[in-house]
Amino acid sequence: MHRIIKISSEHKKHTELHEELESAKKKVVIGGIYSHYKHPENTYKVLRLGFLEADDSICVIYEATYDRELIFVRPLKSWLEVVDWNDKKISRFKLI
C-alpha cells in the first residue's frame, strides 16, 4: 500500500533565509568548540549553519573533535535548548 504525502513547494525567500542566518550567528559561534551536557569530555566544533531543505529550519552542522569523520546536523532549536539534568536546568551545548 502506498501513502500519498503532500509536499509543500513553498520555501522562504532568500532574503528571509539570510536574515535568519544572521540572527542565528548571534547565538552560535561558527568555529566555536562546544561541549554536550551528557559527555562534557567530548567536544564538538561548529562548522557552519545550514537549512533543512524540507522545511527551511536552521540547523547547526558540527563535527566531533575526537573523531573528525563524525559530522552531525542538529536543528538550531534543539542546539539551543535548556534541558533538565541531575535536577538542574542546563544548556544542551556549552561554548568552551
**pLDDT tens for each residue of 16-68:** 999 999 999 999 999 999 999 999 999 999 999 999 999 999 999 999 999 99
Domain that holds residue 49: 14-95
**Residue 4 domain-assigned?**
no
- Indicate whether this model's pTM tops 0.75: yes
Residue 5's pLDDT is 57
Q: Tell me how far the alpha carbon of residue 18 is from its chain's centroid.
A: 16
Work out how many domains the chain is built from and give that number. 1
Cβ neighbours of 28 (radius 10 Å): 19
Spell out the SS3 assignment of 42-84.
EEEEEEEEEEECCCCEEEEEEEECCEEEEEEEEEHHHHCCEEE
Domain CATH code at residue 50: 2.30.30.320
Q: How confident is the model at residue 3 (pLDDT cuts 50, 70, 90)?
A: confident
Contact 56, 45 (CB under 8 A): no
Determine the Cα–Cα distance for residues 93 and 96; give it in Å rounded to an integer.
Answer: 9
